[in-house]
Amino acid sequence: MSKREKIKRNLRQNWGFPFILLFQALILLSGGFLIQGDSALANTIVTYSYFSLVVGIALQLTSFLMNGRRKQKENE
């Protein structure tokens, strides 16, 4: 299985994956702005990254529970 296929499968099975990647990108971006001295913008970006993480974890949990139930029904 190629990397592209693994990413597509991961996106279908784990709905929170894009939000968690967005969280990581925003954290790095805010660190860059903080280094440049723009702490107000860095704080705003960190706030958005936190919301992205919360949404990502909630979606990740939901997809985990749904995939677990689906697999349990398949085994019966």
Query: pTM for this one?
Result: 0.77
Q: What mean pLDDT comes out for the span 15-21?
A: 90
Whether residue 32 is contained in a domain is answered as no
The count of structural domains within the chain is 1
Contacts of 1 (CB under 8 A, 6+ apart): 9
Contacts of 16 (CB under 8 A, 6+ apart): 55, 56, 57, 58, 59, 60, 61, 62, 63
Whether residue 62 is contained in a domain is answered as yes
What is the average pLDDT score of the chain?
A: 88
Convert the pLDDT of each residue in 42-67 to its tens digit. Answer: 999 999 999 999 999 999 999 888 87
Whether residue 4 is contained in a domain is answered as no
Whether residue 48 is contained in a domain is answered as yes
Whether residue 17 is contained in a domain is answered as no
